[in-house]
């Protein structure tokens, strides 16, 4: 009986120490941020597709289609009909073929800025059961481009894909030039050298990323990107230089010494 009592006391002590550990609130605040759900076209950029040199004539083809993955229907919001982004591509020969789905605007490729500290990408892909390989392209805060593997496309229908970012990736930089945060460059699809390449289709939907916005927020964050375009200006360096030159010309050392010497002579004559 005494042994049983001792065992119960030990379990009670352990439980008392462990409960505070399990009841602690996670200090990392994670939020889901949207890149594009394809239901409405982005205002500042649009999607485009480019392919390697052996792509067949008239390809790649891409457009928006009505539809959504069944798993996303309960979360559908808004009055717009759900849409997805589809790409169809074909090549003249097997080999190391690829195509990229990237944001762009009138100036060329557009890099989507990502907010906060990004931990992972989360999106839906419709695969055609081809042994092709999907990759995500990002640029870190130091301007280095990284290609993250997102698995193969050897499956049929919709699949949710989550790609975690490595912890060593630089997401914040003190450099004065270049990107200040991580940016999303787009997707790349590569063919297997032995896979068929004459007819391939892929669809994307609900591209988002998980981020912790707290580390980049500080007291006075709103003053980081203030607009000084309509601010008043002071005297420039040219005015300061001209003032300095005029002062040096009027008050040169030789003239000041001569003046001092003459005043000394005058005063000496008055004394004697």
pTM of the model: 0.70
Query: If DSSP codes are grouped into helix, strand and coil, which group holds residue 170?
Result: coil
Per-block average pLDDT, block size 10, for the chain (272 residues)? 58 53 50 92 93 96 95 81 95 96 94 93 97 97 93 97 93 70 95 94 97 70 75 69 53 49 45 40
DSSP class of residue 55 equals B
- Confidence (pLDDT) at 233: 82
pLDDT of residue 25: 37
Domain boundaries along the sequence of the chain = 27-223
Candidates 96, 51, 86; CA nearest to 195 is 96
Q: Please provide the DSSP assignment of 176-224 as one string.
A: SSS-SS-EEEEEEEEE-TTS--S-EEEEEEEEEEEEE-GGG--TTGGGT
Name the strand (E) or helix (H) holding 8: helix 2-22
Structure-token pair, residue 217: 């927020």
Please state, in angstroms and rounded to a whole number, the distance separating the CA atoms of residues 126 and 118.
Answer: 24
Q: Which CATH class is domain 27-223?
A: mainly beta
């Amino acid at each position: 009986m005494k042994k049983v009592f001792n065992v119960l006391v030990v379990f009670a002590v352990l439980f008392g120490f462990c409960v505070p550990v399990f009841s602690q609130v996670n200090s990392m605040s994670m939020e889901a941020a949207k890149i594009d759900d394809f239901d409405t076209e982005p205002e500042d950029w649009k999607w485009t597709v480019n392919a390697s040199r052996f792509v067949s004539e008239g390809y790649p083809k891409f457009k928006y289609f009505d539809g959504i993955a069944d798993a996303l229907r309960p979360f559908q919001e808004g009055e717009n009909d759900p849409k997805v982004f589809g790409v169809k591509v074909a090549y003249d020969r097997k080999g190391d073929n690829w195509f990229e789905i990237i944001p762009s605007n009138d100036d060329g490729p557009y890099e989507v800025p990502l907010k906060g500290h990004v931990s992972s990408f989360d999106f839906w892909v419709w695969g055609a059961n081809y042994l092709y390989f999907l990759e995500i392209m990002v640029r870190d805060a130091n301007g280095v481009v990284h290609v993250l593997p997102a698995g193969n496309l050897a499956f049929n229908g919709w699949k949710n894909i989550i790609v975690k970012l490595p912890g060593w990736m630089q997401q914040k930089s003190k450099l004065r030039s270049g990107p200040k945060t991580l940016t999303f460059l787009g997707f790349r699809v590569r063919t297997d050298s032995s896979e068929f390449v004459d007819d391939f289709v892929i669809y994307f939907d609900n591209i988002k990323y998980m981020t912790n916005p707290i580390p980049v927020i500080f007291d006075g964050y709103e003053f980081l990107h203030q607009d000084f375009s309509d601010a008043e200006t002071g005297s420039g360096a040219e005015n300061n230089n001209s003032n300095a030159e005029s002062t040096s010309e009027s008050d040169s050392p030789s003239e000041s010494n001569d003046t001092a010497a003459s005043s000394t002579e005058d005063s000496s004559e008055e004394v004697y």
